[in-house]
Amino acid sequence: MNFVDQVRIYAKAGDGGNGMVSFHREKYVPKGGPDGGDGGRGGNVVAVADSHLNTLLHFRYKRHYIAGNGAPGGTNRRSGRKGKDVILRVPPGTVIFDDATGKVLAELTKPGERVVIFQGGQGGRGNAAFATPTNRTPRTAEKGMPGQQGWLMLELKLLADVGLVGFPNAGKSTLISTISAAKPKIADYPFTTLVPVLGMVRLDDERSFVVADIPGIIEGASKGKGLGTDFLRHIERTQVLVFLLDPHELPPIRAYAILEQELYQHNPALARKRRIICISKADTLTPEERSQYEELTFPGFGKPLLISSVSGENIGVLCSMMWSALEDSRKENYAGDTSTVSPATPMLTGQ
């Protein structure tokens, strides 16, 4: 299935129905008076978070969404029917922007959450509403108000607890397929993962969390190189970042510095997220290389964890570290205090 995480659509709420001009006519009832009813309210544009969706792909095939108009008022003071709402079903994690101003109109994170994006127009009053002691036969009624409308930008940010960050071919896909039931495409060439992949990690019956394999980041991604910033937004919602560094591509310190710089340039708030630094493909290291990497120290984060998805080395340890970091992050968020999290300072890529 194709993965779409950003779409532009047009939506319009319904117009209010017109009020009615009518006079009561009934045999043996002289001077029945005005009885025109009010018009119905226009339908709203409503966004609903649907847990069965994980992409915005369905919006690619239909771009215009128009709610029903309110019905006009009737005789005998009958009000017109309300217009039918139009429902925008989106995956949890969707942010809806006003395309013209960039203003955030809604952010739906929980399944079942509903938000009215555009209000339907108010129905016009019928002539019965204008009757007064000095004007007993009003012949005027209001027109319904137009509904709100505009172009919307829908942006999906995946809801994952832990995000895997690394260069293409660093072993992220192999790791997520090892620790979860996710089956991403795996090959020995860059950019085999072209869309984010989610996997559920279950430590036991009571402990589980969601891991996201973010497509490979390269130097300059925050400026549009490689896959650019298309998927960097998905890292924003994670609580813990796991850096996978391939020791055969770049020196780990330099690789980490480049990745940290790209994340920081995309969104400085990412510097406050908890992180775990791993050197992948440990099964391919010589004893000398292993000794060298075990002595590495990353400023502010200590020594890296050597892992191998092929041999299983330290995979259980990594999962336990993910859970501990996630628990700490949740406690801080619950307390509303992030002061204990030291912001990561971007390292110079020349290190």
1 and 22 together in one domain: yes
Give the SS3 label for residue 332: helix
pTM for this model (two decimals): 0.64
pLDDT on residue 346: 44
Q: CB pairs under 8 A, 24+ apart, for 21-26?
A: 21/126, 21/127, 21/139, 21/140, 21/141, 22/74, 22/75, 22/76, 22/126, 22/127, 22/128, 23/137, 24/75, 24/76
pLDDT on residue 204: 84
Structural domain includes residue 340: no
221 and 260 together in one domain: yes
Residue at which a domain ends, from 123, 156, 189? 156
C-alpha triplet 261, 266, 271: angle, nearest 5°: 60
Residue at which a domain ends, from 132, 156, 180? 156
Residue 187: its H or E element: none
175 and 241 together in one domain: yes
20 and 121 together in one domain: yes
pLDDT on residue 226: 41
Residue 90's nearest CA partner among 128, 124, 59 is: 59
96 and 19 together in one domain: yes
Tally of domains within the chain: 2
DSSP bridge pairs for 274: 240
186 and 325 together in one domain: yes
285 and 144 together in one domain: no
Structural domain includes residue 53: yes
Residue at which a domain ends, from 135, 156, 177? 156
Structural domain includes residue 190: yes
CB atoms within 10 A of CB 255: 22
Structural domain includes residue 172: yes
246 and 273 together in one domain: yes
12 and 122 together in one domain: yes
Structural domain includes residue 125: yes
Could you tell me the CATH number of the domain that includes residue 183? 3.40.50.300
Structural domain includes residue 345: no
Give the SS3 label for residue 58: helix
Q: Which positions of the chain have pLDDT values less than 70?
A: 1-4, 28-31, 182-196, 216-234, 333-351
Instruction: Give the neighbor-by-neighbor strand order of the sheet with 45-49.
Output: 86-90, 45-49, 114-118
172 and 93 together in one domain: no
Give the SS3 label for residue 165: strand
pLDDT on residue 224: 45
Could you tell me the CATH number of the domain that includes residue 49? 2.70.210.12
Residue 281's nearest CA partner among 162, 189, 170 is: 170
Beta strands in the chain (DSSP E): 6-12, 45-49, 64-66, 86-90, 94-98, 104-108, 114-118, 149-156, 162-166, 197-202, 208-213, 240-245, 274-279, 305-306
Report yes or no: 141 and 123 within 8 Å, Cβ to Cβ: no
297 and 244 together in one domain: yes
> Which whole-number Å values give the CA distances from 256 to 65, 152, 226, 347, in the listed order?
45, 37, 18, 8
CA 179 – CA 197 distance, rounded (Å) = 13
173 and 136 together in one domain: no
* Domain of 306, in residue numbers: 162-335
Structural domain includes residue 321: yes
CA 257 – CA 214 distance, rounded (Å) = 18
CA 283 – CA 303 distance, rounded (Å) = 18
C-alpha triplet 96, 100, 102: angle, nearest 5°: 50
What token pair was written down for 93? 């994690």
Q: pLDDT tens for residues 218-270?
A: 554 445 444 445 556 667 778 899 999 998 888 899 989 888 888 888 788 87
CA 251 – CA 259 distance, rounded (Å) = 12
Structural domain includes residue 246: yes
